[in-house]
Chains A and B, each alone.
Chain A
Amino acid sequence: MAIVTLDNVKKIYPLGKTEVEAVRGVSFSVEEGDFISIAGPSGSGKTTILNLIGCIDTPTEGTVVVDEVNTGELNDKEITNLRHRTIGFIFQSFNLIPVLNVEENIEFPLLLGKDRISKKEKSEWLGFLIDEVGLTEQKNHRANELSGGQRQRVAIARALVTKPRIVLADEPTANLDSKTGESIIELMKKINREQKTTFIFSTHDPAIMKIADHIIFLHDGLIESEERRERENAGSP
């Protein structure tokens, strides 16, 4: 079942008196539980597509359907709710809130929603996520006291805290060394397998691409090729 569908999506940005076509008519769908990589060189439109799926940007043409909702028909409040309920974000620059510590950063998205969970339940869930990303000892540290890899682990836990159906990661390893980058992708893959969370991430690193079970190659705002592999967790309970 498709959790994300893009149909002939175009995105044009004004650039002074001219216009830049970042995406020039892209159509594809993402199945629930996919671990999909959007690959391509810089300027190919990877980030724009992630922004459109993440409802933080709107297409100039075409439709983006997320979790069976056409995002073009939603107002600001509904889009915010959809983002909070359905999507988790992992940013290239980690984007942690500097004044909050590891635990507080991970907890933060929970405080934005209307759903209330018990203190015990929340504490257990946060403990699980912190443990899962291997930051139990650093849970009281601020962002500036962590390494790049540790910061990205916090960002992954934060993206998962609301139990979203989709996690979007924009070049999550770009600011990390290759070893740390691989460990971050392994962690994402592990969560994808265990939690059945759909991961959509952009990258231009071939080493990272090979872990994905669905790759979309972009070039100049168009899909150059699409490759599907058998899921590692396919058929598992």
Chain B
Amino acid sequence: MPVLLRIAFRNLKEHKSKTLIIGIIIALGISILTIGNSLMDTAARGIQKTFIENYTGHIMVSGKTDSPLSIFGMQMAGATEKVPVIPQYEKVKKYVVSLPEVEAVTSQVTGYAGIELGEERGFVILFGIEPESYRKMFSSIEIIEGRYLEPGEEGILLGESKILEIEKEYDITIGAGDQVILNSFGAAGFKIREVPVRGIFRLKQKTEGLDQIGFIDIQSLRALEGMVVATASDFKLDEEETKLLNLDSPESLFSEDDIVETETSRSEYSQQELMGILGGGEGGTGSITIDSGAWHYLLIKLKNGRDMPRIIAELNSWFDRENIPATAVDWKTAAGGMAMTSDIMKTVFNIAILIVAVVAVIIIMNTLVISVIERTPEIGTIRALGARKSFVWKMFALETFTISVLFGTMGIMLGVIIIGVLNIIGIQATNTFLNVLFGGPVLRPSVSSGTILSAFGIIVLIGFLSHLYPVWVALKIQPVKAIQTEY
């Protein structure tokens, strides 16, 4: 064994109490880091899996917006901007489908509607979908009553937990085959739609909050959302009307000359007569029609998730080249705030760990400085015998790194054992927040190689930072100290 390593090991053994103080701090810190990061990583993987497999796919394409956008709509509270439809949807979809890395695509519109529940009024988030492609892409929807939506038919699928909530809160029973009345009020005015409940679903991977969504046929949601195409070409104004609109003063609109009074011969009209006057129930001249090509999102599942950043870059570059105001984002952006929770938690945890690490470094540093001061004659002697400063530096660096690696490895092992135990027993999510954070009702954490590598990185960093000041003190010791100090 090289002499430096021999000295390092024996010195650590010789000064057991100091070694243990430093070692326990390092081991505990590293085990907390390993456990914490493993929990966070597992939760993040759970959330990623939940969203990619159930809601977002790997990539979401949407129209460009100024405010942040997710599959749940605009992310900023009080944002007045509406979710735009994807421009040149057919062209975009054709290009996406042509990419060899793409496994499946589906399109979606997101909306919010009130749901009539007897005297009461509830609220539901609606995903307007293409049933066939949606089911193919997101296979975790399990129908527990009724059936899935058929292509082209009107209807809604409600989640089991939503049904239970309605039953509990409003004392109303809803089942497959029942009709529900949905209404919404937006820029296009008040819209009302009655749709049949085709089925009740449950998510195979249960996620609190997300199973509150209702899946509705796209045409019904477009109607509720007022996603329409105006037929402006049908409007033709005659000379009189044009003149009226060109009046300089708005007040002149109300002058007596322009008010036409006509007396009616009848005071009552039947519904049939009114419909005849208004155009027989069909869209008359100047009416509006539902835009059958309007989609908010194009969701893309890739064959290999690792291709995600590259495909996103490729799509965005294509949008730029084709001058299409659309954008492609990853699943995390598509998932919005819910997926960010784990990132925020991880950031908070890492800041806490950083503070602990700084405190640990200061404690280790002080303990080592005391050790250096105690060993002043030894250092002086070594220098007097012909050791260069680099030798003294290596001696202390090796001692610090030996203790860091030794106890750091113990900390990692302790962390791995605890995570192993937690994996077997599982951590139950006792509330909605934890359910979302865990990406499911139970968290079974596992340790990734990345976590172990980052723990080793921290060990090396702690070792490096802790040894700097003590070594600086040691290097200032002159050989003459060997003679001046009693040994």
Contacts and interface: CB of A to CB of B under 8 A. Distances in A.
A83 B388 contact: no
A106 to B, nearest CB: 11
Contact of B386 (A57, A81, A92, A107): A81
B418 interface: no
A77 B383 CA distance: 11
A108 B483 contact: no
Nearest to B479: A56
B212 interface: no
Interface in A76-100: 76-77, 80-81, 83-85, 89, 91-100
A103 to B, nearest CB: 12
Given A80-B388, A91-B381, A112-B391, A99 B11 contact: yes
Interface stretch (B2-10, B175-183, B436-444): B2-10
A76 B389 contact: yes
A99 B487 CA distance: 13
A108 B486 CA distance: 21
Contact of A77 (B7, B388, B483, B487): B388
Contacts of B382: 97, 108, 112
B3 A162 contact: no
A56 B482 contact: yes
B378 interface: yes
A97 B7 contact: yes
A47 interface: yes
Contacts of A84: 385-387
A51 B385 contact: no
B384 interface: yes
Contacts of A85: 386
A112 B386 contact: yes
Interface in B443-479: 478-479
B147 to A, nearest CB: 79
A213 to B, nearest CB: 24
B48 to A, nearest CB: 52
Contact of A97 (B381, B386, B480, B486): B381
B interface, size bucket? 20 to 34
A56 B388 contact: no
Nearest to A82: B386
B483 A99 contact: no
Contacts of B377: 93, 95
Nearest to A164: B386
Nearest to A97: B378
Nearest to B9: A99
Nearest to B8: A99
Nearest to B389: A76
Contact of A93 (B383, B384, B389, B487): B487
A56 B483 CA distance: 10
Interface string A97-119: 11110001001110111000000
Interface in B371-408: 377-378, 380-389, 391
Given A93-B486, A112-B386, A99 B14 contact: yes
A50 B483 CA distance: 10
A51 B480 contact: yes
A100 B391 CA distance: 16
A109 B378 CA distance: 13
A100 B381 CA distance: 13
A45 interface: no
A112 B487 contact: no
Nearest to B478: A56
Contacts of A94: 487
A93 B384 CA distance: 14
28 contacts: A47-B483, A56-B482, A57-B478, A77-B388, A80-B383, A80-B387, A80-B388, A83-B385, A84-B387, A85-B386, A89-B381, A89-B384, A89-B385, A95-B380, A95-B381, A96-B487, A97-B378, A97-B382, A98-B378, A99-B11, A99-B14, A108-B3, A108-B382, A112-B382, A112-B385, A112-B387, A113-B386, A162-B386
Given A98-B14, A112-B382, A112-B387, 8 more contacts: A56-B383, A56-B482, A57-B478, A57-B480, A83-B385, A84-B386, A95-B381, A100-B7
Interface of B: 3, 6-7, 10-11, 14, 377-378, 380-389, 391, 478-480, 482-483, 485-487
List the 3 closest A-B pairs by CB distance, nearest first.
A84-B386, A99-B10, A93-B487
